[in-house]
Structure 1
Amino acid sequence: DGTSSGKREKHPEACMDRATFACSTAFFRDFGNSAPGALPGGHVDFIDKVDSFTYSDFFRDYLIPNHPCIFSAKFTEDWGSRKTWVTWDGKPNFEHLLQKFGEAVVPVANCDVKEYNSNPKEQLPFKEFEDVYTTPVYFSSDWLNEYWDAVAVDDFRFVYMGPKGSWITTRSPGVVEDTISINHNWVNGCNVAVMWCFLQDELAAVQREISQWKDPMDDWHLQCQLIMKSCTGIDYKEFYNFLKVIAENRISILEKGLDEESSSQNNSKAAISTLGMLHAVFDLKRTVKVLSSLSANEDFRKLDLSSLSPSPEALLQHLESAIDTALL
């Protein structure tokens, strides 16, 4: 279990056009930070054809309103993992995997033990990985992995392999048969406000749980942040740094562009560039919205913000200036 070896798919339509930019602007003006509601009857669209389904279609109809959809197998038919990792009847080809990757070191979870809301892992050999999947163009705007790639700590792309009865996360049901699951978790400007609301709810839950210690504990608010981070993987100051990395990458694209060498690389900045100027502006506008809320948040303001560079106020000013300049 555990690899982030997917390549980013190149696609000429991975760009926000003016119609989609106008649609996204109107949506967040009308609905603010909330989606208009679930689809009737819990309906989830099935997207069959790749050629007729553009990035703009996905962004407008699913990302902006935060609606789920399912891609057909046609979207992944060129993945190497679909050709070599499974047998003719679709079952995991563990014999091939052991021969190919036997010495690679991967995290293996003990599903019978739970520690701090997750399963403990140990590093065991499973050979080195090759490129086994291509990230679909529709996931090009990926703030979550863009940030974690930048800080070089971890990422949220992984391959799960496990026998019948094991599970991918502690909150998911056990798999019903031997399974290989390629996972790519991501956040972007369409739902970053939802992420911020989630963090506020998580902190409030922690504060309620240890409220009896508020008066006798001098650093109670710091302990709340620490506990929240142990549960969610992020606290308020790191969330600020997350927004800062996203913002500065887009400001760099708007102000300096991307040189030819960087454009040819398979990294986050190259992906941002292919999405176009309007997408960068959209991302900055969403960042301003959430960063403004974070900066005004009482719990955030209780923290020592002197270590943050630039300051939230200075970053906000830079963002607003970059947006104004780009829209001239």
Structure 2
Amino acid sequence: METGQGQNQQAWNGVWPVGSHLGSVEVPVANCNEKYYNAQKTTDIKLDDFITYWKDYSEKGHPSDMPSLYLKDWHFPKDFPEANIYQVPQYFASDWLNEYLCGKTSIDDDYRFVYMGPKDVFTSFSWSANVCGCKRWLLFPPGQENNLRDKFGRLAYDATAPELHDSAMFPNYHKLCGHFEIIQKAGEVIFVPSGWHHQVWNLEDTISINHNWVNGCNIKTMWDSLQNNLLAVKKEVEEYRAIDGWEDHCQLMLRATYGMNYEEFYNFLHFIATRRLDFLGNNNPNIMFGEWKIGINHAIFDLVQLKKVLDLLLCDSNIKFISFFQNLGNQCDNLRNDINSTFLKVTRHT
């Protein structure tokens, strides 16, 4: 990814000129000194105001009596597609999530973000490219995050906080092991595997580009997470199970808390499957997210992985109570038949 040289560095050269033609844009800014439900409190301010603060904060040496503000989760590529400030690295080009969200005109969302901030703040990403600045990462293998939970099951706000050594409050912290510490410099990209808890500090004033992404390699992990989040929702509202439409209400809550429910997950799978089937069946070029193209073997792999998860979804006992699936008719069976037919055709020609 071109972040440290060439066109992209010129576009992002220094932090202050960024606001020259975008100064009136409202951007989400977190105050890292204010904890809000185990995260940081976020408000929208003008980009000009944030850059003015940032410049002042940095020139004064990051004083402790000033707030520590961090611009995060700014959907810059979606809001300003004509800017074309970067190309997705080929290693992350198979990005079903943003392929779906950018391809569905009815959905005004994506998982592509710009982050800007002074040193000494932290947040979390999936893959992250530093345009400028330096970050310190702590990454914990799957399962190790449980050793960072307190006796009530709540995850520690800061993985390096002194109170973690209080065995009465954090009984499993002494078991923590196997985590990695990484220093990420300008022009470098870091990939965070699915399920890895992580914490990040800016060691210098930093601008980064970040994507959350899903593809055939981790779609099963996404499905497992969706199921687990539905179980958590049901547990919270179990006492209201007798209410008419309880399952549909659980799906609404799942959408609100997880960002996706069973209906949207099915639509997501259907969208990706249709594009891969069109490519394999009609030889239509399959332009991936970021203008990358995939080949036949890649498309087949995607369909194989997708069908495994589609079968799991359609066998889930919850869907018979969800209105959306009751009204689908034969669409699910038709999709599975189309995938199987395509597999047979491709096999005959290979």
Residue pairs, 1:30-41, within 5 angstroms: none
Matched, 1:156 2:115: no
CA distance in 1 between counterparts of 2:258 and 2:38 reads 11
CA distance in 1 between counterparts of 2:229 and 2:271 reads 23
Matched, 1:228 2:155: no
- Three-state SS of the structure 2 residue aligned to 1:255 is helix
The alpha carbon displacement at 1:98 in A equals 2.2
- Three-state SS of the structure 1 residue aligned to 2:83 is coil
Deviations along 1:178-220, whole A, 9 cap, x unmatched? 32121022110011011001111111111112212213x2222
Matched, 1:85 2:12: yes
Matched, 1:197 2:224: yes
Q: 2:46 aligns with which of 107, 115, 124?
A: 124
Residue pairs, 1:15-30, within 5 angstroms: none
The residue aligned with 2:61 is none
Residue pairs, 1:176-255, within 5 angstroms: 176-215=203-242, 217-255=243-281
Matched, 1:314 2:348: no
CA distance in 2 between counterparts of 1:121 and 1:82 reads 28
> Quick one: structure 1 residues 163 and 77, their matched pair in 2 at CA, closer, same or farther if it must change by over 3 Å?
closer
- Three-state SS of the structure 2 residue aligned to 1:141 is coil
The alpha carbon displacement at 1:125 in A equals 5.2
- Three-state SS of the structure 1 residue aligned to 2:114 is strand
CA distance in 1 between counterparts of 2:4 and 2:334 reads 47
Cα contact 1:258–1:270 (8 A) shared by 2? no
Residue pairs, 1:60-99, within 5 angstroms: 76-78=3-5, 80-86=7-13, 93-99=14-20
> Quick one: structure 1 residues 94 and 76, their matched pair in 2 at CA, closer, same or farther if it must change by over 3 Å?
closer
TM-score normalised by length of structure 1: 0.64
Which residue identity lines up with residue 23 of structure 2 in the other structure?
Answer: G
Structure of larger gyration radius: 2
Cα contact 1:162–1:178 (8 A) shared by 2? yes
Alignment length (residue pairs): 240
> Quick one: structure 1 residues 119 and 292, their matched pair in 2 at CA, closer, same or farther if it must change by over 3 Å?
farther
> Quick one: structure 1 residues 196 and 221, their matched pair in 2 at CA, closer, same or farther if it must change by over 3 Å?
same
Deviations along 1:224-244, whole A, 9 cap, x unmatched? 211221111000010000000
Residue pairs, 1:51-66, within 5 angstroms: none
Matched, 1:294 2:313: yes
Q: Which has the higher helix share?
A: 1
> Quick one: structure 1 residues 122 and 309, their matched pair in 2 at CA, closer, same or farther if it must change by over 3 Å?
farther
Structure 2 portions without partners, runs of 5+: 49-75, 125-156, 158-197
Cα contact 1:158–1:184 (8 A) shared by 2? yes
> Quick one: structure 1 residues 106 and 253, their matched pair in 2 at CA, closer, same or farther if it must change by over 3 Å?
farther
CA distance in 2 between counterparts of 1:307 and 1:270 reads 35
CA RMSD after TM alignment = 3.0
The alpha carbon displacement at 1:164 in A equals 3.5
The alpha carbon displacement at 1:80 in A equals 3.3
Which residue identity lines up with residue 115 of structure 2 in the other structure?
Answer: Y
Greater mean deviation of Cα atoms: 160-169 or 280-289: 160-169
The alpha carbon displacement at 1:176 in A equals 4.2
> Quick one: structure 1 residues 237 and 79, their matched pair in 2 at CA, closer, same or farther if it must change by over 3 Å?
farther
The residue aligned with 2:295 is 276
The alpha carbon displacement at 1:75 in A equals 6.5
Structure 1 portions without partners, runs of 5+: 1-73, 87-92
The alpha carbon displacement at 1:139 in A equals 1.3
The alpha carbon displacement at 1:124 in A equals 3.5
Which residue identity lines up with residue 320 of structure 2 in the other structure?
Answer: R
CA distance in 2 between counterparts of 1:213 and 1:283 reads 39
The residue aligned with 2:132 is none
The residue aligned with 2:194 is none
> Quick one: structure 1 residues 212 and 309, their matched pair in 2 at CA, closer, same or farther if it must change by over 3 Å?
same
CA distance in 2 between counterparts of 1:258 and 1:309 reads 28
Which residue identity lines up with residue 151 of structure 1 in the other structure?
Answer: K
CA distance in 2 between counterparts of 1:318 and 1:204 reads 32
Greater mean deviation of Cα atoms: 131-140 or 119-128: 119-128
Matched, 1:107 2:27: yes
Q: 1:144 aligns with which of 97, 100, 103?
A: 97
TM-score normalised by length of structure 2: 0.60
Which residue identity lines up with residue 275 of structure 2 in the other structure?
Answer: N
